[in-house]
Amino acid sequence: MSDTALQDTPKRGSADAADLELDWLTLEDGESIQWASTPHRYSVVPAFGIGIPLSLVLVGIPILVGSYLQYTNTNYVVTNRGLYSKRGILSRDVQQIGFDKVQNISYSQSALGSSFGYGSVNVSTAGGSGVELKFRSIPDPASVQELIAREVDDREQADAGEGDGADDVLNEILHELRAIRQELADSDGGQPSGAQHAGDDTAAEER
């Protein structure tokens, strides 16, 4: 991901957006990043609060290391087309949901999260069972929820506009079909008259 592509990214995350390593993210043509972040730096406070005392007996060291690695290896991204989540230390677990599938968005904050300004955004999809994607412990979850809701609304309006265009094309096709049917009806209507004249001529000859 180039630095230029990240310059327009809102810097609401716990790290400067341009400092995030998003080499795992592949954007489609016309897709741009609207927001990107790691979990809030203070979200590791509970783990450190437990791990530091236990580190005196070496038990807490894995807790400290694991919490830090999870914090640095987790990315959340909002583009103008969908949501991305990347987690994993030894392997990558990447999840993507398009805005056309998003049905419900909510956010939650614990007492500690409210104090330090972080929380989780939960995303449910149409036809899914419960929360399909969660942005855990991100900074300012209310603003991220509003951003996602706005992007979903924009996508729905765009789809509605495309639907109106399709209706116009369909109406035009129906109009052409009616015109063709009318021409055929007019043409068929002239044939019986000609047939009647031919019948009259035949009858005259027989006389």
Tokens (6 digits) for 203 = 């009858």
The answer on pLDDT for 191 being more than 80 is: no
Mean pLDDT score, 67-86: 89
58: left (phi over 0), alpha (psi -120 to 50) or beta: left
pLDDT at residue 47 is higher than 70: no
Domains of the chain: 3-39+74-163 (2.30.29.30)
State yes or no: pLDDT of 202 exceeds 60: no
Which residues does 148 contact at the CB level (< 8 Å), separation at least 6?
78, 83, 99, 102, 105, 121, 123
Q: Report which DSSP code applies to 38.
A: P
Taking the model in full, what pTM does it have?
0.66
In sequence order, the 6+-apart residues with CB closer than 8 A to the CB of 170 are none
Q: Phi-psi region for residue 53, left (φ > 0), alpha (ψ -120 to 50) or beta?
A: alpha
Percent of the chain with pLDDT over 90: 39
pLDDT tens digits, one per residue of 96-116: 999 999 999 999 999 989 999
